[in-house]
């Protein structure tokens, strides 16, 4: 049991670092103004290329004014793939919920950092106990 706790602690600490990177970079993609980017209001990500060679673009990342946002071609369907794309673009149905992406990213950042701090405290306490 003790070894599984140690393993869980170390795996959790190492993967927490990766989760932190994902959360921070995800937040920066959704909110490019956090990096001081004053470029175009939307960045488009290429997801698929139809057989005709025409590029189909997904929802833009960032908030470009709502009314002019492009969320993909009409009639894209309700496949799991399109649902996943829309969720990652901050859209549920025809509703812009990109603010939820911000909340989730900030929550992940907070939980990951505090979890890493607690793990480091546990490791320090274990090292002190082993010295005695």
Write the pLDDT tens digit of every residue in 24-63: 988 888 888 888 887 545 544 444 445 555 444 444 444 4
What range does the domain containing 125 cover? 2-131
Q: Hey, is 19 helix, strand or coil?
A: helix
Predicted local distance difference test score (pLDDT) of residue 86: 85
**Widest CA span in the chain:** 71
Please give the tally of structural domains in the chain: 1
Task: For tokens 């399109």, name the residue.
Answer: 82
pLDDT surpasses 60 at 94: yes
pTM above 0.85, yes or no: no
pLDDT surpasses 50 at 2: yes
Predicted local distance difference test score (pLDDT) of residue 73: 54
Q: CB of 42 within 8 A of CB of 72?
A: no
């Amino acid at each position: 049991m003790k070894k599984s706790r140690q393993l869980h602690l170390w795996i959790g600490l190492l993967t927490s670092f990766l989760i932190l990177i994902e959360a921070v970079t995800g937040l920066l993609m959704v909110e490019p103004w956090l990096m001081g980017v004053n470029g175009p209001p939307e960045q488009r990500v290429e997801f698929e290329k139809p057989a005709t060679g025409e590029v189909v673009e997904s929802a833009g990342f960032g908030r470009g004014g709502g009314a002019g946002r492009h969320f993909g071609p009409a009639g894209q369907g309700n496949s799991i793939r399109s649902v996943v794309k829309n969720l990652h673009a901050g859209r549920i149905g025809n509703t812009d919920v990109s603010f939820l992406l911000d909340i989730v990213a900030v929550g992940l950042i907070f939980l990951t950092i505090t979890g890493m701090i607690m793990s480091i405290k546990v490791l320090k306490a274990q090292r002190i106990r082993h010295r005695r």
